[in-house]
Amino acid sequence: MLVPFWDPTMVLLIPAIILAAYAQAKVQSTYRRFSEVRSASGRSGREIAQAILSANGISGVGVEPGDGFLSDHYDPIHKVVRLSPHNYQESTVAAISVAAHECGHAIQHARGYLPLQARTAIFPLANIGTTLSWIFIFGGLFFLRGVAVMGVSLLDIGIFLFSFGVLFQVITLPVEFDASKRALVQLNHLGLVAPAEQEGAKKVLDAAALTYVAAATAAVLQLVRLLMIRDRR
């Protein structure tokens, strides 16, 4: 989301860059730490996910291994919880915490959680808008100044498209926080974590949540920066 040219407004992005770096380091260090702590239940991430889905009466949602490190996610279109290989196979505090979090999204989907529905609906616009926005932004700034489409400048069109990506990041925050809250409730209510593991599970989920905070912060500050550039020109 960073524009590759220098402008005094780049200063606005410094806090976001620092927060993003910290969040990435935090999630990796926390995940590595609790990936070495075996779960007292002895259940793998796959088994934990299946137990949570079953306990909540959620049928038709599969649990599959995904590809790549920390590639865990819930696919609401195909109704699949995909866990990265380690989290799918292993029985660690980190693995079961991540599995429970993704099941939190499946529970949101089954219960009709409004922010998840909104995020799913806006995703295509956010994906396309974020990609196309920079074409219009660069065109409006450097190559086609003064050119307008139906009276609207290219820069304004680019900012409008970019705003869909910002909205997506902002909506993501309550979705992720709620999924983590649901995960902890499920782990405790179903007895899937020992009392001594609860703090570790919360640390894993809190560290992961910080990455979404960093992404939303970067998106909002980038939008503010673009608006400042537009107004100055």
Is 197 designated active site?
no
How many CB atoms within 10 Å of residue 65? 15
Can you state the angle between helices 14-35 and 198-232, rounded to 10 degrees?
A: 160
Q: Distance between alpha carbon 16 and the CA centroid of its chain, in Å? A: 16
Active-site residue among 47, 90, 102, 197? Answer: 102
Give the CA dihedral 206, 209, 211, 215, nearest 10 degrees: -150
The answer for residues whose C-beta is within 8 angstroms of residue 213's C-beta and 6 or more apart is 19, 23, 173
Are the C-beta atoms of residues 100 and 141 closer than 8 Å to each other?
no
User: Which active-site residues does the annotation give?
Assistant: 102
